[in-house]
Every structure is written in C-alpha cells, then in structure tokens.
Chains A and B, each alone.
With several copies, the nearest count.
Chain A
C-alpha cells in the first residue's frame, strides 16, 4: 500500500540535473500539479523526455519558461516558440526524435531490450551516427533505449496499490513511461480503495508506481 503524498513533497524528490520522462501530448495527460510544484521549487538543469513541450503557459511549457530545463528530448516543439527560441539561443539542447521511435526507445528501456530496429528515419537526418542493420533485405536503424531517473505521469484513476487507469487520449506516453523511470510518480485524478479497479482495467500495475500524488485538497 502506498500513502499519497503532496505535490510539493513529490517535487522535492526530483533533484537538479535529473533525467525525467513526462507524460502528455500537447499538455493533455500531463501531471500538471506536479509540474507546478517543480516550477515553484525552482529545480534546475532537468533533462526532459516527452513527446512535446506543449504550448506556452501549459504543462511542460511552464518548466521551459521557468528555466528548469537544460535538455529536451522530444518529437515536436512546433507549438512552443519559447522552446525554439531557447534552442536557437543555445540555452536548451533539443534532440528531436520521431514520435514512434521515441515511444519505442522508452519502452525498450522499460522492458529490458537493448534496442529496436525501425525503418523510420532511414534516408533522413535521423540516421546520423546510428548503426544501420539489414534484416530480410530491408534497412533499419538501430535505436537504443532511453532510460530516466524519474517518470512523472498522469492517470485517470489509481488505487492505493498504485494500479492505474487512463482516459481516452490522455493515455499517450503515460503507460509506457511508467515502465521506464527508476522512480515513478503518478498524479491521478481520482484515488479509490484497493479492489475497486477491476484487474482487466489496470493498464499500469501498481508495482511499477513508487509514489502517488494526493488528490487536490478540495477533492477536485
């Protein structure tokens, strides 16, 4: 059983310079209270691995604006001009990875694979510096795992074992990232007693989750 903790206590677990996976797609399904707590704490030099950096004022964009981030590994930063400006100004390193490759590299880290072979990126800038391997006459890039110290994820519903359910397009990277962080902190919308979530509805088994964020004090 896990006791739910306050967002500020969860944020305090993440040190300066940590590598953090953050769930969400353009802010949908991101752990918003946890992000706010990290901004409030003023954590520095984070390497953020996420699909995108959202749009100004939302989700991961707040970490970028607050100067918490030194490196971004993402598939898309197009809706966040600030990330692009900081990249051009040399304040943030940005590593762009195709979305399907990004999620498979995170999964590989989570499930103990040494890498995967993907056709995506063959013949493009993405193949620079990567081994090319031919299988059955077709070329693939060898893409290696992306490990992280933390996975900061969002979920629809949790129980106190840490089992998680997700809603609609707020799944996105969250269930995969839950496999790949050394420490996994989940921010659920709801927390229910153990036994309420049916086994077939659990998408992240609780044994993967280290910390649960408590609900909002007002119950929302």
Chain B
C-alpha cells in the first residue's frame, strides 16, 4: 500500500459519527475516500460550505462551489453556505470537531510547523493557524520523513503554526500521540517495526509495552 493511502485509511478511523470535520488540501483530503459508508459526518471547506460533497460529474461543475483548494465540489443534502466570518467563527469558536492537516515538522511538545520555510517558500498560513488554534482535535497527516530526513523533531526549527499541542500524528510508519510527557508511540505502520520508527524520528518516543500495528 502506498504511504498516502496508509495514512488516509488510518486517519479515517479517527473520525467519529455526526461530527464536523475539516480536511486540509492535498494528502488530508484523501481521508474522505476511506470513511465507512455508515459513518455520517459533515465536512467543512473553510472557504464557505458545511456539507462538502464529492467531485461533480464532468460538465456539472458549478463555478461558485469549490473547496479551499479551488477544486469543484458538490454539496450534500443539508449543506449550508457560510461566509468567511462564520466559517472561521466556527473554527475559532470550538465548533469544529476535527481538522486534519499536513505538516512540515512536529516536535516533542506536539507543536506543528506547516506554513513556511523562511527564504524558500512563503505560501502564507491561510486558515492553518486558526484551524490549529481552534479545532477540538488536530490531526497531523504526513509522510514520516522528507527525503530521508526526520520531520518529527525534538524542537521545530521552522516557524510554528500555533503553540498548541496537536492531538495525533499519523504517518505511514506510526501513530503518535503527543502528551504532556512527550510523544507516545501508539501504533506502528504495516511495514514498520518499533526500531524503524525510532530511527526515522529525531524526537524521543515514549514506548509503553508492546506497540500494536495499525489495522487498516
């Protein structure tokens, strides 16, 4: 299984029925594909819809209905259009149950950096800072390393997205829960041993007893 699919499948298991979930663009957006049919959730696109639906059939796109990446979407029955003040009001106000975001780095404190590489790439934070500051649960969905270099560090050296401990880190190699004591290794990926995870991670990992494999 490809890394991205492993990650998306595993994150999908975290989604609870009848919640409001925001999926970032790129890898996180794949999570919707692996949600069990009987789990009903509302997806939010922060540009202004609650009840984001699948991509429309060719020729049935509406130029006024897109996701935060600018891609055409549909709206599920019971959807609501909202303006940006309401959309971010829901996010900042704690009404969003979960956000799934990509990451450049996460550190032992559980802090995320995902919005700029100084002198190199300055796309802007978009909605990421509000999402990380405001969502009830923040899940970081990312590949474990970048060109072999660890992305889970002792301390982020890229600018932080928020000074808030994220809820969970899901990679193709591990499920890691940031806690007050540090990063707790909860599961390993289908093809990764505990030692594999340790050697691909700069941060210290807390390992308690036998660490189970992901069930996908």
Query: Is the Cβ of A118 less than 8 Å from the Cβ of B92?
Result: yes
Query: Is the Cβ of A122 less than 8 Å from the Cβ of B125?
Result: no
Interface of A is mostly: mixed
Given known pairs A28-B64, A159-B78, the reply for A171 and B130 (CB within 8 Å) is no
Residues on A with beta carbons closer than 8 Å to the beta carbon of B161: 124
Query: Is the Cβ of B124 less than 8 Å from the Cβ of A76?
Result: yes
Residues on A with beta carbons closer than 8 Å to the beta carbon of B215: none
Contact of A208 with B by CB under 8 A: yes
Given known pairs A113-B92, A169-B66, A199-B49, the reply for A51 and B130 (CB within 8 Å) is no
Closest to B75 in A: A199
List A163-193 residues whose CB lies under 8 Å from chain B: 163, 166-176, 179
Q: How far is the CA of A219 from the CA of B129 in the complex (A)?
A: 42
Contact of A31 with B by CB under 8 A: no
Query: Is the Cβ of A100 less than 8 Å from the Cβ of B83?
Result: no
Interface string of A127-168 (1 = CB under 8 A from B): 000000000000000000000000000001001010100111
Contact of A89 with B by CB under 8 A: no
Query: Is the Cβ of B129 less than 8 Å from the Cβ of A171?
Result: no
Q: How far is the CA of A52 from the CA of B123 in the complex (A)?
A: 10
Query: Which stretch of B8-16, B40-48, B181-189 is in the interface?
Result: B40-48
Instruction: Identify B80's interface contact among A78, A173, A206, CB under 8 A.
Output: A206
Q: How far is the CA of A194 from the CA of B86 in the complex (A)?
A: 21
* Min CB gap A25→B, angstroms: 4
Residues on A with beta carbons closer than 8 Å to the beta carbon of B122: 77, 84, 87, 94, 96
Instruction: Identify B95's interface contact among A26, A122, A173, A207, CB under 8 A.
Output: A207
Contact of A22 with B by CB under 8 A: no
Query: Is the Cβ of B93 less than 8 Å from the Cβ of A103?
Result: no
Q: How far is the CA of A113 from the CA of B90 in the complex (A)?
A: 11
Number of A-B contacts (CB under 8 A): 202
Contact of A79 with B by CB under 8 A: yes
Closest to A28 in B: B66
Instruction: Identify B126's interface contact among A29, A78, A111, CB under 8 A.
Output: A78
Residues on A with beta carbons closer than 8 Å to the beta carbon of B45: 169
Interface string of B71-91 (1 = CB under 8 A from A): 000010111111111101111
Contact of A101 with B by CB under 8 A: yes
Instruction: Identify B82's interface contact among A55, A76, A84, A205, CB under 8 A.
Output: A205
How many residues of chain A are within 8 Å of chain B by beta carbon? Answer: 66
Query: Is the Cβ of A76 less than 8 Å from the Cβ of B123?
Result: yes
Contact of B65 with A by CB under 8 A: yes
Query: Is the Cβ of B81 less than 8 Å from the Cβ of A202?
Result: yes
Instruction: Identify B81's interface contact among A77, A124, A171, CB under 8 A.
Output: A171
Query: Is the Cβ of A29 less than 8 Å from the Cβ of B64?
Result: yes
Given known pairs A28-B64, A168-B64, A171-B82, the reply for A96 and B133 (CB within 8 Å) is no
CB pairs A–B below 8 angstroms (30 shown): A25-B48, A25-B66, A25-B70, A28-B47, A29-B64, A55-B70, A76-B124, A100-B127, A101-B129, A103-B88, A104-B85, A104-B88, A112-B89, A112-B94, A120-B130, A121-B133, A122-B133, A122-B163, A124-B159, A166-B83, A169-B49, A172-B48, A175-B85, A194-B77, A199-B79, A199-B81, A202-B81, A205-B86, A206-B80, A207-B95
Tell me the B residues contacting A by CB distance below 8 Å: 20, 40, 42, 45-51, 62-70, 75, 77-86, 88-95, 122-130, 133-134, 159-164
Sample of 17 further A-B pairs with CB below 8 A, known A1-B40, A126-B125, A175-B85: A77-B122, A79-B123, A84-B122, A87-B122, A96-B125, A99-B130, A100-B84, A100-B129, A100-B134, A104-B88, A123-B160, A169-B81, A171-B83, A176-B84, A199-B75, A202-B80, A207-B50
